[in-house]
Structure 1
Amino acid sequence: MSLARSLVDVRPLRTSPAFRRLLIGRTVSVLGGFMTMVTVMYQVWDTTRSTAWTGAVGLAQALPLVVFGLFAGAWVDRADRRRIFLAATVGQAACSALLAVQGFTGHVPVPAVLLLVAAQSAFGALGAPAAGVFVPRLLPRDQVAAGLALNQITGQSMMLLGPALAGVLLGWFGIGVCYLLDALSFGCAFYGAFGLPALRPEGEPSRAGVQGVLDGLRFLAGHRAVRGALITDLAATVLSFPVSLFPLVNTGRFGGDPRTLGLFLSALAVGGVLATALSGPLTRLGRPGPVMLCASATWGAALVLFGLSARPWAGLALLTVAGAADATAVVARSTLVQTRTPDALLGRVTAAEQIVGQAGPSLGNVRGGLLAGWTSGATALITGGLLCVLAVAGVAATTPELRAGRVPAPGPAKA
């Protein structure tokens, strides 16, 4: 196999100028988003010195996605997705601009900051389902996986760069500049989508309100492959997500050195970047179901070995493997969801995927923290990884549609 075919498939960048603009705009915006995430945590901690308040930041980010996500998806499936995405992007930029204003002026109560964070997350809950239809509408079907892999590798890269850049800028210029740069980054996302054609749903539009949401849930309940993909993701996160255990593991293996704590998350991100950079063969394979199942099982197995490992640097290497498996599973799952879901339902299904992606890790962190408190960090890691592997095996055994998992025959781009 040639080196070029081993690397991430870049055909979407050549064949679709619209996708190329979207990717550039999304990458800059994601960078700004990670900078704001770090800046909010820093500001709240600096103001309150309370872990309860810093925990509330995550709640402010997650709750709007969970509460509004499915209703936003139903709205997206009734209207022009491009216009909704542009409106949501303006809303997010306005929230970042207001955060910048309070960052420059100071003396704003923490609840007001969290309210702005929640408002920005609510706009994100609207924009994400709209953006979820862009890749399958702009690319031929045989390039959808490649487009999603390019989204993944840029997102993982910004996850590495954004927090580090935020730390430097916070030290040099303060919180106001970081928020302002995030507000400006949304301009790139707006430009990326502005030139798109109208992207109204293909097929019967969603019914209004609760009925439209219920139609989406009925599709999820009845489509075995898509349902199995989301259950697999929940199994991998709720049963085994390890991030809440990292401080405990860091204390046991690195003596609690704060300089090494960041290495745990960095190891996951490095694994994700490497796996996506070498994703060419898997995205060309056209079998996202088996790829997702194998990658999810590898994630669980790597966490079991991480829990068993007594050598600190070997543990970080296993986390790199886990990060690679997670990134591979995400690309495969998104490919399966976006190629198996009718366009008229794609906003609602993408919203459900976003909710699973937000709620699963949060619940997994709670599970890991409680179990570690009753037993130990190693026990929580090992049992979580084993449960993940068993759950993935159960999904594979009961969902032959995932084991086959071949994407339908390629078709031309639709927009």
Structure 2
Amino acid sequence: MKKSQTFSLLKRKDFRLLFYVQVFSSFGNWLDVLAINALISFQWGLDLRANAASVIVMFLPYIVIGPLSSVWIDRYDQKKVMMFSTLFHVMVIFGFFVAPNIWVLLALIFLKSSLASVFEPARQSSNRKVVPNEYMAEASSLSQIVLNVTKIVAPLMGGVLLVMTKPQMIFLIEGIMYGMALMLIFKLPAFEKGGQENCIAKASYWVDFKEGFSLIRSNRLLLSAISITSISMFINFLYDSFFAPLSLSLGLDKTGYGLISSALGAGSVTGSFLCGTYTNWRKNPLRFMSIGRIISGVFMLLVGLGCYGFVHGNLLFWMIVFAMIGCVGTALFVPYGFILTTETPANMLGRISAFSTAIQSASSLLAPVIGSLLGKWLCLASVFTVSAVTFILLGSVSFFITNNKKSYEKKNLVKEQA
């Protein structure tokens, strides 16, 4: 098994700057999750419809604004795109600080997500320009580590701050985070525009827009990776909001709920690190993703059987199970990021990234509704059991339709030699 140094990329100044830009922007992006809900529910005393509306306007820009803006992201200087989107981010967060009512807050949430849907494809395109091909696996691993850590730490910190202060103070800290990201972006060098002149010379915006879909359709590996990831995200969100009642079904209390959630997050971070350290999966990342789906499904099946009462375990047992689900689950996202960046020309990465994010965001909106209906129609255990079986089927099918390993290795070797 080939071993590499996951953090060796941080020795490269340009990547190090982009890495810390992601750290601060991702931390700011997740810091206000609890603060927004606290502002709506506790400070303004609104009902669940307002909370649901905030979730909808948060995901909608990724489905609409991201893909529509992706052509311009590919055409123009990604450093400037990141700079202006982050600057406006700071201004929007200041709006959160003084928002007088729910309607203004919803508009600001929509603007914030719109800016994020522009920023992230630009950041990924910038990464592609500063990371050599032989380090793409490590870059994808580091990016996933940042995402997993900030998704855990930032809301936790936001929750602690809510105990001590008002939601507005959290928005202020969030604005400072984006401000620090902005200062780092200023230090980035001007990126080469390799291939972008061709984009500008295209006949129309829609020609460039359709070109992204054409690439996805014509590239079997890219299409398969996006399909597997999108379906997996849909399955994840079927059960993602049911961990609290799940804990009760497994015979755990509030402490157990917190610990299995922490184990899931810790497993995700560990898996991201291991995928960046041991990179032999690069020879056939799609098959690696498929095996990860099968193993995740097996562990998830244990959870479903535990809800039915067929599997019994103490707190430690369930912490190990969820840690494994999180760890093996990363067998999807790190290789997916690797495929996305290596199979997409640098001048089209903004479009491909935005299109794939749009599909995943649509899953984030639809799956919880279907999951809740499934839980009411059958039972909570059925949600986890159906998710587990679907994971196993998805992994099995994708495993058998994966490109022949030798042909992929040959293709990869030709790319590296070129």
Q: Same fold (TM over 0.5)?
A: yes
Decide which moves more: 139-148 or 263-272. Answer: 263-272
Instruction: Report what 1:205 is aligned to.
Output: 199
How does 1:2-401 map onto structure 2 within 5 Å? Answer: 5=3, 9-14=6-11, 16-46=12-42, 47-102=44-99, 108-194=100-186, 195-202=188-195, 204-205=198-199, 207=202, 208-241=204-237, 242-254=239-251, 257-283=253-279, 285-287=281-283, 288-309=285-306, 310-311=312-313, 313=315, 314-400=317-403
**What percentage of residue pairs aligned between the two structures are identical?**
20
Contact 1:235–1:392 under 8 Å retained in 2: no
Contact 2:297–2:391 under 8 Å retained in 1: yes
Contact 1:396–1:402 under 8 Å retained in 2: no
Contact 1:136–1:338 under 8 Å retained in 2: yes
AA aligned to 1:340 is E
* Partner Cα distance (1:215, 1:402) in 2: 28
* Partner Cα distance (1:58, 1:155) in 2: 19
Contact 2:282–2:335 under 8 Å retained in 1: no
Instruction: Report what 2:309 is aligned to.
Output: none
TM-score, scaled relative to structure 1: 0.89
* Partner Cα distance (1:190, 1:152) in 2: 21
Contact 2:56–2:365 under 8 Å retained in 1: no
1:306-347, CA deviations, whole angstroms, 9 ceiling, x for partnerless residues?
A: 111243623332222111122231111010111011112111
* Partner Cα distance (1:283, 1:100) in 2: 44
Cα 1:390/1:187, change in 2 over 3 Å: same
Contact 1:249–1:377 under 8 Å retained in 2: yes
Contact 2:138–2:277 under 8 Å retained in 1: no
Contact 1:62–1:358 under 8 Å retained in 2: yes
Q: Let me know the Cα RMSD of the aligned residues.
A: 2.4
AA aligned to 1:355 is A
AA aligned to 1:344 is N
Contact 2:18–2:127 under 8 Å retained in 1: no
Question: What is the deviation of 1:12?
Answer: 0.7
* Partner Cα distance (2:136, 2:158) in 1: 32
Question: What is the deviation of 1:401?
Answer: 6.1
> Unaligned stretches of 5+ in structure 1?
103-107
Question: What is the deviation of 1:408?
Answer: 5.0
Contact 1:65–1:121 under 8 Å retained in 2: yes
* Partner Cα distance (2:414, 2:38) in 1: 49
Question: What is the deviation of 1:91?
Answer: 1.5
* Partner Cα distance (2:355, 2:313) in 1: 39
Contact 2:293–2:394 under 8 Å retained in 1: no
Residue 108 of structure 2 aligns to a residue whose secondary structure is helix
1:156-177, CA deviations, whole angstroms, 9 ceiling, x for partnerless residues?
A: 1222211121122222232122
Residue 6 of structure 2 aligns to a residue whose secondary structure is coil
Residue 189 of structure 2 aligns to a residue whose secondary structure is coil
AA aligned to 2:336 is R
Decide which moves more: 310-319 or 29-38. Answer: 310-319
Cα 1:29/1:211, change in 2 over 3 Å: same
Contact 1:233–1:356 under 8 Å retained in 2: no
* Partner Cα distance (1:151, 1:157) in 2: 10
* Partner Cα distance (2:289, 2:254) in 1: 34
* Partner Cα distance (1:197, 1:179) in 2: 31
Question: What is the deviation of 1:409?
Answer: 5.8
* Partner Cα distance (2:236, 2:182) in 1: 36
Cα 1:201/1:65, change in 2 over 3 Å: farther
* Partner Cα distance (2:98, 2:66) in 1: 28
Contact 1:82–1:198 under 8 Å retained in 2: yes
Aligned length in residues: 402
AA aligned to 1:142 is E
Cα 1:199/1:402, change in 2 over 3 Å: farther
Contact 2:291–2:399 under 8 Å retained in 1: no
Instruction: Report what 1:105 is aligned to.
Output: none
AA aligned to 2:193 is R
Contact 1:81–1:200 under 8 Å retained in 2: no
Contact 1:290–1:405 under 8 Å retained in 2: no
TM-score, scaled relative to structure 2: 0.88
> Unaligned stretches of 5+ in structure 2?
307-311
Contact 2:59–2:362 under 8 Å retained in 1: yes
AA aligned to 2:97 is A
* Partner Cα distance (2:261, 2:194) in 1: 38
AA aligned to 1:125 is S
Cα 1:135/1:396, change in 2 over 3 Å: same
